[in-house]
Amino acid sequence: MNRPLLFLDVDGPLNPYAAQPERRPDGYITLRVPLGNGLRGDDPGLSSRRRPLRVWLNPGHGPALLRLGYELCWATTWMAEANRWIAPALGLPELPFVDFGDALFRERPDGVHWKTGPLVDHAAGRPFAWIDDEQSAPDHAYAATHHEGPALLHHVNPRIGLRESDFHTLTDFARALNSPESPEGPAPG
Q: What CATH number has the domain bearing residue 144? A: 3.40.50
Q: Is residue 48 included in any domain, yes or no? A: no
pLDDT for 105 beyond 90: no
Considering only CA atoms, give the Rg of the chain: 17
Domain span at residue 118?
5-16+59-178
pLDDT score, position 150: 97
* Cα 15 from Cα 30, distance rounded (Å): 10
pLDDT for 80 beyond 90: yes
Indicate the pLDDT class of residue 100, thresholds 50, 70 and 90.
confident
Q: Is residue 31 included in any domain, yes or no? A: no
pLDDT for 187 beyond 60: no
Q: How far is Cα of residue 79 from the mean position of the Cα atoms in its chain? A: 10
Q: Is residue 32 included in any domain, yes or no? A: no
pLDDT score, position 38: 53
Mean pLDDT of the chain: 87
pLDDT score, position 25: 85
DSSP string spanning the chain? Answer: --PPEEEE-SBTTTB-TTS-TT-PPTT-EEEEEPTTSS-TT--GGGTTTSPPEEEEE-TTHHHHHHHT--EEEE-STTTTHHHHHHHHHHTPPP--B---GGGTT---TT---TTHHHHHHHHTT--EEEEESS--HHHHHHHHHH-SS-EEEEE--TTT-S-HHHHHHHHHHHHHHHSTTSTT-SPP-
Q: Is residue 27 included in any domain, yes or no? A: no
Q: Is residue 117 included in any domain, yes or no? A: yes
pLDDT tens string 4-25: 999 999 999 999 999 987 788 8
Residue bearing the bigger pLDDT, 73 or 25: 73
Q: Which has the minimum average pLDDT: 55-59, 99-103, 112-116?
A: 99-103
Q: Is residue 146 included in any domain, yes or no? A: yes
Comparing CA positions, the residue from 38, 63, 64, 67 lying closest to residue 53 is: 38
Q: Is residue 12 included in any domain, yes or no? A: yes
Q: Which residues are bridge partners to 128 per DSSP?
A: 5, 151
Comparing CA positions, the residue from 76, 25, 32 lying closest to residue 50 is: 32
Indicate the pLDDT class of residue 158, thresholds 50, 70 and 90.
very high
Q: Is residue 136 included in any domain, yes or no? A: yes
Domain count, the chain: 1
